[in-house]
A and B are shown apart, each in its own frame.
Chain A
Amino acid sequence: MTPTKTQQSIDKFARDIDAEVHDSVWGGAKKTSEARYAALERDFPETADKLRETAGKIKQHTLENLDKYLAQAEASLQANGAQVHFARDGDRANEIILDIMKQAGATRMVKAKSMVSEETELAHFLEKNGMSCVETDLGEFIVQIDHDHPSHIVKPIIHKNRRQIAKSFEREGLGEYDDDPETICRRARKFLRDKFLHADVGLTGANFVSAESGRLTIVTNEGNARFCMAANRVHIAIVGIEKLVPTDRDLGLLLNLIGRSGTGQQLTVYSQFIKGPRTEGQPHGPEEMHVVFVDNKRTEVLATNCRDILRCIRCGACLNVCPVYRQASGHAYRSVYPGPVGAVLSPLLAGSRFPELADLPKASSLCGACNEVCPVNIPIPDLLLRLRDKAKREGAKKASAGTPGMGMYALLASQPTAWRGAMSMGKAMNMTPPAVMNIVPAAAAWQSARQLPPWRGGKFRSWMKTRKHAHDA
Chain B
Amino acid sequence: MNDDRDLIFSNIRKALEPLPERAPYPEWDAEMPICREHPEFAERWDLYAYKLQQVNGTPLRGLKALGEWLVAAGQTFGYCDPKLVDEVRAEPAFAGITLETEFDRARVDEYLFGITLASGAIAETGTVILKDKETSARLGALAPWTHVAILRPERLLASTAEAIASLGDDPSVIWATGPSKTADVEGILIEGVHGPGTQICCLV
Contact = CB atoms under 8 A, between A and B. Distances in A.
Contacts of A18: none
Given A58-B25, A61-B25, A229-B172, A282 B138 contact: yes
Contact of A252 (B133, B160, B187): B160
A270 B172 contact: no
Contacts of A142: 184
Interface in B152-189: 160-161, 163-165, 167, 170-188
Interface in B28-86: 28, 30, 32-33, 35-36, 51, 55
B146 interface: no
* A interface bracket (residues with beta carbon within 8 Å of B): 35 or more
A43 B36 contact: yes
Chain B's interface: helix, strand, loop or mixed, by majority? loop
Interface string A257-272: 0000001011111111
A324 interface: no
A209 interface: no
Given A181-B190, A279-B172, A57 B177 contact: no
Contact of B33 (A32, A51, A161): A51
A249 B30 contact: yes
Given A58-B25, A248-B167, A270 B176 contact: yes
A60 B174 CA distance: 28
Contact of B142 (A45, A182, A223, A275): A223
B194 to A, nearest CB: 4
Contact of A223 (B9, B125, B180, B190): B180
B171 A275 contact: yes
Given A27-B187, A45-B36, A272-B174, A86 B5 contact: yes
B129 to A, nearest CB: 10
A279 B187 contact: no
A227 interface: yes
Given A80-B171, A92-B4, A221-B182, A136 B22 contact: no
B1 interface: yes
A314 interface: no
A293 B8 contact: yes
Nearest to A87: B4
Given A96-B1, A189-B194, A256-B33, A272 B172 contact: yes
Contacts of A354: none
B4 A269 contact: no
Contacts of A284: 103, 137-139
B193 A224 contact: yes
A196 interface: yes
A267 B160 contact: yes
Interface string A141-175: 01000000000000111000110010000000000
Nearest to A222: B193
Given A54-B28, A54-B32, A185-B190, A277 B171 contact: yes
A248 B9 contact: no
Given A223-B142, A302-B15, A303-B15, A162 B185 contact: yes
Contacts of B22: 61, 64-65
Nearest to B178: A269
A45 to B, nearest CB: 6
Interface residues of B, number: 72
A344 interface: no
Contacts, number: 254
Contacts of A184: 185
A248 B164 contact: yes
Contacts of A162: 185-186
Contacts of A221: 180-183, 193
B7 interface: yes
Contacts of A63: 23
B13 A67 contact: yes
A270 B11 contact: no
A250 to B, nearest CB: 9
Contacts of A231: 105, 139
B19 A64 contact: yes
A278 B193 contact: no
B90 interface: no
A58 B26 contact: yes
Contact of B23 (A43, A61, A263, A303): A61
B108 interface: yes
A181 to B, nearest CB: 4
A145 B129 CA distance: 35
| 3 cross-chain pairs, A with B, having the tightest CB-CB distances, nearest first | A223-B195, A303-B15, A299-B11
30 contacts: A27-B187, A28-B186, A45-B36, A50-B32, A54-B32, A64-B22, A64-B23, A136-B194, A138-B182, A182-B190, A185-B185, A185-B192, A188-B193, A189-B193, A193-B109, A197-B105, A221-B180, A224-B193, A224-B194, A226-B195, A267-B127, A272-B172, A273-B175, A278-B138, A278-B172, A279-B132, A279-B172, A283-B138, A284-B103, A299-B8
Interface of B: 1, 4-5, 7-9, 11-16, 19, 22-26, 28, 30, 32-33, 35-36, 51, 55, 103, 105, 108-109, 124-125, 127, 132-133, 135, 137-139, 142-143, 160-161, 163-165, 167, 170-188, 190, 192-196
Interface of A: 24, 27-28, 31-32, 42-45, 47, 50-51, 54, 57-58, 60-61, 63-67, 70-71, 80-81, 85-88, 92, 96, 136-139, 142, 155-157, 161-162, 165, 181-182, 184-185, 188-189, 192-193, 196-197, 213, 215, 221-224, 226-227, 229-231, 241, 246, 248-249, 251-253, 255-256, 263, 265-279, 281-285, 293, 295, 299-300, 302-303, 307
Given A92-B4, A300-B15, 18 more contacts: A60-B23, A64-B22, A65-B22, A96-B1, A155-B187, A156-B184, A185-B193, A229-B172, A248-B167, A252-B161, A253-B33, A266-B55, A266-B125, A270-B195, A276-B171, A283-B138, A284-B137, A295-B11
